[in-house]
Amino acid sequence: MERAALLRRLTWQTGTVIATTVETPRVKTIALAVPDWPGHRAGQHVDVRLTAPDGYQTQRSYSIASAPGDDYLSLTVERLDDGEVSPYLVDELRGGDELEFRGPVGGHFVWDEEFGGPLFLVGGGSGLVPLRSMLRHHRAIGSQVPVRVLCSARSLESLIYREELMKRAADDLIDVSITLTREAPSSWRGYRGRIDPALLSTAGWAAAEEPLTYVCGPTAFVETAAAGLVALGYDAGRIRTERFGGTGV
């Protein structure tokens, strides 16, 4: 009976846009004030719904970028040129607007402190969004779990959360590696090129450390990373993946 009482159907609710932050020319973070937000687990997402004056509705799923303990619920959205929802969210939505959504949802691609580590977070493009929530949560609760992060982006300009990542990298428990796949400044001292087993091996943990790994990004990126990790001897049961249909990295 107690369990039955916890069953909760999803309802659409409304948040108010507090601020929008430009992450890259194509990517924005939207901070929402949500009355009675029940809280979320790092890695979860919400479904956003848009309604036109003639009643036409459409919805998409977006990962939550904020930590459970942050003041606002944040979504980071990449503009897809042929998209229907993301151009609205990136180009049109502004402070004071109301946005309809439901959630939080998802129980697979989540990190709770009790899952332990060591953690390896692998993100391609806007696949970094749920990983940022995990990193923020990790810091907010003062977790002692060591973390390695591997980010893949086309260029330095298209890397989201650049400053925040640099700041996190200063922490002894957190190691951040970045690879740029299309263009890198001549002074670039990070990695270049697409992820492969060699890079995963260098930037991640030895399989013997039994890392808990989260991989998020476009479908092809996730497939490459997951296959590479398994080839390195990572336990497939400790690799969690989330794929989305964004642009390539």
Partner 1 sequence: MEPLDGNALAGVMHDLFARDMTTMGYKCTSCGHTGVMAEMVVYMSGPGTVARCRGCETILMMLTERRGMYCIDMSGMAQPVLPLA
Partner 2 sequence: MAVTRGFHGRRAADPSRVPPGQYVTRDFPVLSAGPTPYPQLDTWEFTIRGAVDKPVSWSWTDFQALPREQFTVDIHCVTKWTKLDVTWSGVSLDTLLAAVPTEAPYAVAFSDGGYTTNIPLADLRRGKAWIVDEYDGRPLDPEHGGPARLLVPHLYFWKSAKWIRGLDLRTADQPGFWEMFGYHNYGDPWKEQRYYGD
Contact yes or no for 178/155 (Cβ under 8 A):
no
Does 105 interact with partner 1 (rule: CB under 8 A)? yes
Structure-block tokens of residue 190? 């990070």
Q: Among 65, 109, 121, 177, indicate the residue that binds partner 1 (CB under 8 A).
A: 109
d(CA 249, CA 231): 21
Question: What does each C-alpha distance from 136 to 34, 45, 194 come to in angstroms?
Answer: 19, 15, 26
Classify burial at 13, counting beta carbons within 10 Å of its beta carbon; exposed 0-12, middle 13-18, buried 19 or more: middle
Q: Which residues between 55 and 74 bind partner 1 (CB under 8 A)? A: 59, 61
Q: Among 45, 132, 136, 138, indicate the residue that binds partner 1 (CB under 8 A).
A: 45
Q: Among 219, 230, 232, 238, indicate the residue that binds partner 1 (CB under 8 A).
A: 219
Q: Among 35, 38, 55, 107, indicate the residue that binds partner 2 (CB under 8 A).
A: 55
Partner whose footprint covers residue 139, from partner 1, partner 2, none (CB < 5 to 8 Å by kind): none
Q: Which residues between 183 and 212 bind partner 1 (CB under 8 A)? A: none
Does 227 interact with partner 2 (rule: CB under 8 A)? no
d(CA 10, CA 104): 9
Helix axes 128-140, 162-169, angle to 10 degrees: 40
Binding residues for partner 2, rule: CB under 8 A, are: 14, 50-58, 82, 84, 88, 92-93, 97-100
Applying CB under 8 A, which residues contact partner 1? 3-4, 6-10, 44-47, 59, 61, 102-103, 105-109, 218-220, 222, 240-245
